[in-house]
Amino acid sequence: MRPDDRDRCQGAEDEDEEDEPTELHPVHYGTAVGRTATDYDAAMKLEGKVALVTGASRGIGQACAVALAAQGARVFVNFHRTAEGAEETLRRIRESGGEADALQADMGDSAQIAALVAACVSRFGRLDVYINNANAGERRPGQRGSFLDVTPEMLYQQFLLPYQACYAGGQTAAKQMIAQGGGGAIVNISSIHQERAWGADSIYGSMKAAVSRLTRSQARELAPYGIRANCIAPGFIDIRAFPGERGDRYDVYNQRAEVEIPLGRGVPDDIANGVIYFSSSDARYVTGQTLFIEGGYLLVPISEI
């Protein structure tokens, strides 16, 4: 199995290459073991707050949206192509007694980002928490990502557009938070690829490193307005709703994660727990930080998954 695909580290939609599995361990799907941010809490951490989550139609984004609502936030859900997934996010929130709405927007288009934030404020009156989760741009199946094969178009689609989405999204959200007063929180979703180089990840890893670095600038410049900015770098996060949903190759990666990563594979709720921390007053004195939620992935020699 080649270690050159970004999917293993945060559940992107692209397919991975196939190889033979190592020793198989049982895996559990959907949620983490133990208490999660979606569990009922009588003292909700985000009651009265409004949160906007980009890329919230599946995986990490969906888990974050549901967790924010469970902590009392009214949630505005962004999606690009997967309307059915966005409807599922809304259903989960509303069935649990939360309040949410959704809007389609391409985060690679600055005008659509502005319209998205405006729609959120029009619907809920303000914006307190902005979760930058969506990856803009396109990655074509079978496209080689090795350094010598990267083209200018690939750089545009896979570096510039995703980074611009993070930059413009955070900037637009911050301007709204400043205009309304009361501070706020921005959480950027990065990847452990920012920290270590795998084969053929020169674009993706560099882009995610740029997101983490941007977070520190956001934190410094927005602190006078009471706005905190932090980043989460996920490791191997299993976004399957059930075994086989994404094919045999992705199942193999999950089996190997249970063997090769000290704490096994993660699930979207693991990232949502970090998002709740950074979004709430629990992190009132924390800004400019990147939290690695990766189960010890970076503690061991480079994994082949």
Q: Is residue 146 part of a domain?
A: yes
Q: 3-class SS at 96?
A: coil
State the average pLDDT for the chain: 88
Q: Is residue 120 part of a domain?
A: yes
Mean pLDDT of 194-198: 93
Tokens standing for residue 75: 């949630």
Residue 276 has pLDDT above 80, yes or no: yes
Helices 59-70 and 268-279, axial angle in degrees (round to 10): 50
Q: Is residue 159 part of a domain?
A: yes
Q: How confident is the model at residue 137, as a pLDDT?
A: 94
Residue 286 structural domain: 6-299
Residue 32 has pLDDT above 70, yes or no: no
Q: How confident is the model at residue 53, as a pLDDT?
A: 98
Mean pLDDT of 98-119: 98
Mean pLDDT of 227-243: 95
Neighbours of 71 (CB within 10 A): 23
Q: Is residue 273 part of a domain?
A: yes
| pLDDT, tens digit (0-9, with 9 covering 90-100), for 118-133 | 999 999 999 999 999 9
Which residue is listed with tokens 């391409």?
Answer: 106
CATH code of 294's domain: 3.40.50.720
**Is-contact 19 94, C-beta < 8 A?**
no
**Tally of domains within the chain:** 1
| pLDDT, tens digit (0-9, with 9 covering 90-100), for 181-194 | 999 999 999 999 99
Q: How confident is the model at residue 39, as a pLDDT?
A: 53
43-47, 66-70, 232-236: range with lowest mean pLDDT: 43-47
Cite the active site residues: 204
Q: How confident is the model at residue 300, as a pLDDT?
A: 83
Q: Is residue 1 part of a domain?
A: no
Using CB atoms within 10 Å of the CB of residue 279, give its burial: 0 to 12 exposed, 13 to 18 middle, 19+ buried. Answer: buried
